[in-house]
C-alpha cells in the first residue's frame, strides 16, 4: 500500500517537470500516449466490472481506480505546442481549441476522482454510475479531438 501511494505521489510530482524534460517533441507525444495507454488499461478493468463482463471485486476496482486517478493528471504535459505537427491521433482542431481540451481534461480528472471515491464505497451501483459519467468525459474528448 505504501509503495502504491509513493509511486502515485512521485508520478504527480514528476508530471509537472515532464514538460521541461522532453528532449524532443516526439518524446512529449510518446509520454502522453503512454499515459493514456496505462490509464485506458486500468479504466477498462473497472469498466468490465461495471458492465458485468467480469465479477465485481471492490478491492480490484479500488486499486485500478487509484491508478486511473493518478494517470488522468499526466498526459496533459505532453500536449506541447511543438507537438502539433507530429503525426498522432490528435485532430488538428485540438490545437485550435486547446482551452476546450483543457476544460475537458479537468472534467475528466474530476469524474475519475468521483469514480475513485465510488470504488471506496464497495457499491457496484455507485461504481456503475460513476464509471458511466467518467466514460462520457473520455468519449466527449475522443469524439471531438481524436482521429
Q: What is the mean pLDDT of residues 35-59?
A: 98
Residue 34 has pLDDT above 50, yes or no: yes
Confirm whether residue 42 is marked as ligand binding. no
Quick one: pLDDT at residue 88?
A: 94
Nearest-angstrom CA–CA distance, 15 and 19 = 7
CB 90 within 8 A of CB 76: no
Tell whether 5 is covered by a domain: no
Tell whether 9 is covered by a domain: no
**C-beta atoms surrounding 114 within 10 Å:** 18
- Measure Cα distances from 11 to 105, 129, 132 in Å: 17, 27, 26
CB 72 within 8 A of CB 42: no
CB 83 within 8 A of CB 33: no
Q: Tens digits of per-residue pLDDT, 76-87?
A: 999 999 999 999
Domain count, the chain: 1
Tell whether 59 is covered by a domain: yes
Confirm whether residue 138 is marked as ligand binding. yes
Residue 19 has pLDDT above 60, yes or no: no
Tell whether 11 is covered by a domain: no
Confirm whether residue 142 is marked as ligand binding. yes
Residue 1 has pLDDT above 60, yes or no: no
pTM, to two decimals:
0.84
The three cell numbers of residue 71 are 494517470
Give me the CATH number covering residue 59.
Answer: 1.20.120.10
Nearest-angstrom CA–CA distance, 46 and 116 = 10
Tell whether 1 is covered by a domain: no
Place of cell 485550435: 96
Q: Tens digits of per-residue pLDDT, 89-128?
A: 999 999 999 999 999 999 999 999 999 999 999 999 999 9
Q: Which structural domain range is residue 68 located in?
A: 25-80+88-145
Amino acid at each position: 500500500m505504501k509503495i502504491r501511494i509513493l509511486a502515485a505521489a512521485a508520478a504527480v510530482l514528476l508530471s509537472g517537470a515532464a514538460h521541461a524534460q522532453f528532449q524532443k517533441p516526439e518524446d512529449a507525444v510518446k509520454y502522453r500516449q503512454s499515459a493514456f495507454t496505462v490509464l485506458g488499461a486500468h479504466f477498462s478493468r473497472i469498466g468490465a466490472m461495471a458492465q458485468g463482463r467480469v465479477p465485481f471485486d471492490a478491492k480490484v476496482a479500488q486499486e485500478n481506480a487509484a491508478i486511473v486517478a493518478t494517470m488522468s493528471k499526466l498526459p496533459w504535459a505532453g500536449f506541447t505546442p511543438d507537438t502539433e505537427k507530429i503525426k498522432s491521433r490528435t485532430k488538428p482542431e485540438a490545437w485550435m481549441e486547446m482551452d476546450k481540451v483543457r476544460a475537458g481534461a479537468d472534467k475528466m480528472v474530476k469524474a475519475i476522482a468521483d469514480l475513485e471515491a465510488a470504488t471506496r464505497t464497495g457499491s457496484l451501483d455507485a461504481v456503475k454510475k460513476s464509471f458511466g459519467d467518467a466514460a462520457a468525459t473520455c468519449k466527449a474528448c475522443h469524439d471531438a479531438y481524436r482521429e
